[in-house]
Amino acid sequence: MEYINEGIALGVDLLILGLCFKEYVNYKKSLASLKNAPQLHLESNLRSVVEKQKDKRIPYAVIRGTVMPIGAPLKSVMSPSVTGVLQVIKLSEHRVARGFAGFWSDQRKLIHVSSNEVPFVITSGKESVEILDGLSASVIDLDLVYDSYEPASLTFFDHIFGFFSGVRQKGFQTTEEILRDGSFITAIGEIELDGNTLRMQSSSVGPMFLTTATKGTLIKKFEEAKSSTLIKMFFCGTISVILISIIARKIYLKKKQERSERKLKESLEKARRERRSRARPRNLNDEQLCVVCVANPKEVIVLPCGHVCLCEDCSEKIQLNCPVCRARIETKAAAFIS
Ligand SMILES: [Zn+2]
Ligand SMILES: [Zn+2]
């Protein structure tokens, strides 16, 4: 196949286009639900607002307030003076690896993640909303409280081994991120009044957020991401169209060539037939005529039965059985009757 390269490129391009489209739909959906989510104020009697709703629940809403642990806060492992409610510690390995075309490139591989949370509320004035399963939020703005990088001490043999295996260790990085108590954040999710407690949890309408950004900033960010995905889609789409037209052109040219080759073959065949019919002897008796068309002389012997019974034109059409004795035809040969 002469268009296999274009075909592979088209496949990859369509895959990227599909992923971009999925991303675009996600952004669009999140953006729509974010725009529709009401901004509720904890101070202005949120409890009675939620109580009036069906099932005492608002599917997707925005609240702002200060993070407060319900019991004792979490203590940072690496910086003990810092306390918070959500904590993520990551250990990653930095290495250089020989990749595409033999170039060495930096890579970062996450080796271990540990996360912790304690129950906490978002509070403002007298009212507070408990956040359930905060770590499951799609976007969480955590503070980086610890970041340390330790270069690996490599021996001579490690270098030699790295050269042959294609992976050389560079060092380890440990980071700790915390959502500090006392920080002022925006929380977006489903709000529910359960007994006497107001709760926020992940929503089926849109992604859950625990972020320092305001609703307006988030909408702006999502709109920017949406338009940049649209640009990517347009770019991929253009490449697809170009590739499809290249493939279509190649197919068209191939078909055109096949058609002209067939025409040439047909005209040569026609000329050959005419030449032969001019060269045939006239005034033959019935015995000497082809048994099929009864017009041309007998010119072909059918084997293995050995009947000389066909002209050349008819022998092209008859492939299976001898027209005289019905024996199976294995081969044919020109017969010269002198
Ligand atoms: Zn014939
Ligand atoms: Zn026969």
* Confidence tier at 158 by pLDDT (50, 70, 90): confident
Q: Distance (Å, rounded) from C-alpha 101 to C-alpha 313?
A: 61
Q: Where in the chain is the domain with CATH 3.30.40.10?
A: 286-334
For residue 272, pLDDT over 90 is answered with no
> What is the DSSP secondary-structure string of 294-307?
SSSBP-EEEETTTE
The pair of three-digit structure tokens given for residue 334, joined into one six-digit string: 């020109």
Q: What is the pLDDT of residue 322?
A: 93
Q: Tell me, what DSSP letter sits at residue 321?
A: B
* Confidence tier at 283 by pLDDT (50, 70, 90): confident
Ligand nearest to the CA of 317: 1
CATH of domain 286-334: 3.30.40.10
Q: What is the pLDDT of residue 1?
A: 66
Cα(324) to centroid of ligand 2, in Å?
5
Lookup result for tokens 């529910």:
192
156-160, 185-189, 282-286, range with greatest mean pLDDT: 185-189
Q: Distance (Å, rounded) from C-alpha 104 to C-alpha 297?
A: 79
Cα(303) to centroid of ligand 1, in Å?
17
Cα(322) to centroid of ligand 2, in Å?
5
Residue 298 in contact with residue 308, Cβ under 8 Å? yes
Q: Three-state DSSP class for 269?
A: helix
Cα(322) to centroid of ligand 1, in Å?
13
Ligand nearest to the CA of 310: 1
The pair of three-digit structure tokens given for residue 253, joined into one six-digit string: 């040219």
Q: What is the mean pLDDT of residues 29-39?
A: 91
Ligand nearest to the CA of 299: 1
Nearest to 180 by CA among 66, 258, 278, 10: 66
Cα(295) to centroid of ligand 2, in Å?
20
Ligand nearest to the CA of 290: 1
- Model pLDDT for residues 301-331, shown as the tens digit of each residue: 998 999 999 988 888 888 899 999 999 999 9
Q: What is the pLDDT of residue 191?
A: 93
Cα(292) to centroid of ligand 2, in Å?
13
* Confidence tier at 168 by pLDDT (50, 70, 90): confident
Q: What is the pLDDT of residue 279?
A: 72
Nearest to 94 by CA among 104, 85, 86, 103: 104
Nearest to 82 by CA among 177, 161, 6: 177
For residue 246, pLDDT over 90 is answered with yes
Ligand nearest to the CA of 316: 1
The mean of the pLDDT values for the chain is: 89
Cα(301) to centroid of ligand 2, in Å?
9
Cα(180) to centroid of ligand 1, in Å?
100
Q: What is the pLDDT of residue 50?
A: 87
Cα(329) to centroid of ligand 2, in Å?
8
Cα(241) to centroid of ligand 1, in Å?
54
Cα(315) to centroid of ligand 1, in Å?
7
* Confidence tier at 196 by pLDDT (50, 70, 90): confident
- Model pLDDT for residues 108-145, shown as the tens digit of each residue: 899 999 999 999 999 988 889 999 988 888 888 999 99
